[in-house]
A and B are shown apart, each in its own frame.
Chain A
Amino acid sequence: MSASAAYVPSGGFGGTIAAGLSPMMANLNVDEGATAMSRAQPIMMVNPPICRYFQRGICHYGSSCRFSHVLTAGEANNNSGNETEVLNPTTSSTNLKKITTESPNARPSTSRHNWINAPVFVPKSYRPTYPSEEVADISTSEGATSICPMNNEVQKSWADVVGGGNVAQRTNIIEGTDAEAMLEMECPFEGPCPYGAYCAYGIHMELCKMCDQFCLHPSDQTQRRKHNQDCLQQHEQAMEWSFAIARSKDKTCGICFDTIMEKAGREKRFGILPNCNHIFCLECIRKWRQAKQFEHKITRSCPECRVSSDFVCPSAFWVETKEEKDKLLSDYRLALGVKDCKYFKKGDGKCPFGNKCFYKHALPNGDLVDVGCPKRARKLHRGSNDFIDLLDIYLWEFVEQRDYHWLDFLSGTSDDSDDSDFSEE
């Protein structure tokens, strides 16, 4: 809810007074009034000296000033004066508001002498008896910016006069809800409520230092706990995110030598090798691993250290620690495990990778099938005891071409992984 909308309650009954005031003025007013009002009141009753600032036209304390804002002291309680001018504390003397009261005895202002005789405005019941009286106080605090329509012995708050004196009735008019209900409601102001203790709403959310928003319930401990937890979690996530960016942003690909985080769109991805910690962008390492002009053994190994890895894991960020890497790799496998294997074809096909396949081997009814170990064709190589794995050679090329959108699960970015899923023993 915006500030101006929240302002409606006061405007509704104090239209004549508040109309000329911007919400900001009124807000500032109340802030000052709220702090100074209660202690200022008794002093004002015993004919204080005239406020020098008021005489000059500018008193920032307004009606809560300790000194008299009545130019002829001693006539403060004179009933004959019906009209007065009070400075709006936030405005200069040129912005003086001249407002007639609505009392029956009011006469139109014809001379400056009349308002001099007006009684000083003394807001009623400004004890901070929060929250039971605050519904009434919202109007009186508003009235503090204006004048006091003193007509009788009893000092009435300005709001009493305007609203007809019935607090409960007035609040009904204001909001269409009763005061009780408002006490149960949260103040819609998202910052510190400008009405302070005089706000009609009973619940003012407190400032959460973590997210810097007013969203802590003053008394609801479970809400506070939950919010704190959420905040902490969010904070941790943000930290992790920024750490991930920080450790990734300078990393250059060992093949194209470009800074990976500075690459465009889909090329801005790391290709993580499980068995070593050398940095490549996904495109480059995949291209290298698919190179046909070299022996399989060469392309399967890291171009930097020649340690062989069975697959490449795409990642939006660089993973530094073993924990991060293990998590990434297990997330990768989990994401692939949800997808149906394109070779198994829900039982119609045969997957060369057997139960080593990263993808799901499930029948149409959803039953998972263990297809056993991958079948291996082995032959003696060059007559020596040096075995080569035909499976590696013949099937690998198919696998490298495969196109899966697994990263969608992980990061929500569009990704197709054409990488392999075969894990060697």
Chain B
Amino acid sequence: MANMAVSRIKREFKEVMRSEEIVQCSIKIELINDSWTELRGEIAGPPDTPYEGGKFVLEIKVPETYPFNPPKVRFITKIWHPNISSVTGAICLDILKDNWAAAMTLRTVLLSLQALLAAAEPDDPQDAVVAYQYKDKYQLFLMTAKHWTNIYAGGPHKFTECDSKIQRLKDMGIDEHDARAVLSKENWDLEKATENLFS
């Protein structure tokens, strides 16, 4: 029923284009190829969250069995979030897995992801490290998430302290992103991060 998948995506595309969220620039969908099976989504970081001001790009793959199976969605933009892998961008969201319903659409999926950014579920994590930081050192989590949003999603908050620590690791020949990832993981403890990197 690839036919149904394509015809539905076409309809949904129009729906999203006309929807209010587009006007408010909070979600967006773009086509990547002509087959309608691969799309690129974009969601704005919800206000009053560390993701505010950022634009997060998503990869959406529509299976042939859509809408009886959920679309495969992952974050292309790096993000620091308990339910999203900081490495792969994989998302842990029930509706994208076993709680999918055939009446859901790309729009509802994107809005759900937006809601996920606003309300993390650290008890059902995708990224255990992030989830641990979220639960244990929430202020540090907020800073890290804001820093990642600033670097990867164009968020407004700069943290010079973070930048200088990353620069120190970079000077040691470490890739910038790797440095950031390790520092974030080690709660911005430069010593532990160095240890982690060179052990």
Q: Is the CB of B8 within 8 A of A257?
A: yes
Q: Is A185 an interface residue (CB 8 A)?
A: no
Which chain A residues in 260-300 approach chain B with CB under 8 Å? 278, 284, 287-288, 291, 293-295, 298
Q: Quick one: given A287-B68, A288-B68, A291-B68, are A254 and B102 in contact (CB under 8 Å)?
A: yes
With A256-B7, A257-B8 as given contacts, are A304 and B101 in contact (CB-CB < 8 Å)? yes
Query: Are A298's CB and B69's CB within 8 A?
Result: no
Chain B residues 1-51 with CB under 8 Å of chain A are 4, 7-8, 11-12
How long is the Cα–Cα vector from A293 to B69 in the complex, in angstroms?
8
Residues of B within 8 A of A278 (CB): 103
Q: How far is the CB of B82 from chain A (nearest CB, A)?
A: 24
Give chain A nearest CB distance to B48 CB in angstroms. Answer: 29
Which residues of B are found within 8 Å of A295, using beta-carbon distances? Answer: 98
| B11 neighbours in A (Cβ, 8 Å) | 257
Known A255-B67, A303-B104; judge A298-B12 contact (CB<8 A): no
Whether B8 contacts A294 by the Cβ 8 Å rule is: no
Interface residues on B, range: 10 to 19
Residue of B nearest to A288 (CB): B102
CA of A254 to CA of B103 in the docked complex: distance in angstroms? Answer: 5
Say yes or no: A257-B12 contact (C-beta < 8 A), given A298-B101, A303-B101, A304-B101: yes
* Highest count of chain B CB atoms <10 Å: which of A256, A284, A291: A256
B4 CB, min distance to chain A CBs, angstroms: 5
A247 within 8 A of B: no
Q: Is A306 an interface residue (CB 8 A)?
A: yes
Residues of A within 8 A of B67 (CB): 255-256
Measured CB to CB, the closest approach of chain B to A270, in angstroms, equals: 15
Counting CB contacts under 8 A, is B99 at the interface?
A: yes
Kindly list the 5 A-B residue pairs having the minimum CB-CB distance in the complex, ordered from nearest. A303-B103, A303-B101, A254-B103, A303-B102, A304-B103
Where the two chains meet, the residues of B that have a C-beta atom closer than 8 Å to any C-beta of A are: 4, 7-8, 11-12, 67-69, 98-104
Task: Give A contacts to B, CB under 8 Å.
Answer: 254-258, 278, 284, 287-288, 291, 293-295, 298, 301-304, 306
